[in-house]
Amino acid sequence: MKVNRFGRYTTAAIVIGGIIGTYFFSRPRKNTLKTPLDKKRQDKVDRNLVTPANATFGIVWSAIYVGTVALAIHQAMPSQLQNPRYHKAQSWLRLNYLSTAIFGYFFAKSDKKSRIGAAITTISMLPAAIGLHRALEIGQTDVKGAEHILRKFISLYTGWLTAATAVSATTLVQEAGYAREPDEAKKWALGLLPVTTGIGAAVSNRLNDPYYLITLITALTGIAVKQKDQNREISVLAGTLSTYLLGIFAKKIKEESSYFQAEVV
């Protein structure tokens, strides 16, 4: 396996640069909701009933970014230059975090074209994240040490993009002029949430990765919290689906723990 050390450094730079760029493009501004433009933007977000509570984004992305930066640094270390999984992940890491920077650029703007651009970019990131997940052989190959821990952040990233794809699909539908009225938006959300949950459960099983479900569970919980006063039906449904996925996650972790115990014995 031919290894390009400079290529590993380039990958690390792209990942870290993409994250920093996204932060500066989309970081909260002072007095964010005090201008008519930003208030209008928040209203657009709130109209999308499958969007989690705002605090959810900060918590999830912070965890994903910290873990991914650590992985980017780890894959560039001399001890990892012969790691075949990191070798296969190079192009996928670069693609994902160049896309992240592009998303940040669109997200920083409030016009319709930028909202559509951000939604399309987000949807395109999901297959790229799954490609990265597969390249790292998560759920396929058992590894130890730092790589074992750091790969889990890619699981979180992929699960979160599954939830974000549902949000972005709703944005595109609404920008096209559908599901805008409160009753229509509620029907859309009540139909989309079970579909997204079912897809998430199937993908988790296909990837053999229970940790993928964590951020999807978090997203559903965030929706339940956000809608608890305005749309109780959506809140109850999101909470129920979150509990369902939590049950799947707990079962998978228990099975995984039993397997490792059997291996040790």
Residue 21 has a pLDDT of: 86
How many angstroms separate the CA atoms of 149 and 66, rounded? 12
How many angstroms separate the CA atoms of 136 and 81, rounded? 14
Give the tokens for residue 210. 């229970």
Residue 109 has a pLDDT of: 85
Q: Which residues of the chain have pLDDT under 50?
A: 30-33, 37, 264-265
Concatenating the DSSP letter of every residue in 150-162 gives HHHHHHHHHHHHH
Q: Buried (b) or exposed (e) across 140-160, using 16+ Cβ within 10 A?
A: eeeeeeebeebbbbbbbbbbb
How many angstroms separate the CA atoms of 171 and 217, rounded? 21
Concatenating the DSSP letter of every residue in 47-107 gives H-TTPPPHHHHHHHHHHHHHHHHHHHHHHTSGGGTT-HHHHHHHHHHHHHHHHHHHHHHHH
Q: What letter would DSSP give residue 32?
A: G
206 Cβ contact list (under 8 Å, min separation 6): none
Residue 243 has a pLDDT of: 98
Query: 182-207 vs 212-226: helix axis angle to the nearest 10?
Result: 160
How many angstroms separate the CA atoms of 22 and 69, rounded? 13
**How long a stretch of residues is the chain?**
265
Tell which phi-psi region holds residue 157, choosing left (phi > 0), alpha (psi between -120 and 50) or beta. Answer: alpha
Residue 43 has a pLDDT of: 74
Count other Cβ atoms within 10 Å, centred on residue 215. Answer: 26
Domain ranges of the chain: 5-264
Residue 32 has a pLDDT of: 47
How many angstroms separate the CA atoms of 84 and 75, rounded? 10
pLDDT tens digits, 2-55: 667 899 999 999 999 999 988 777 665 544 445 554 666 677 788 999 999 999
pLDDT tens digits, 222-237: 999 999 999 999 999 9
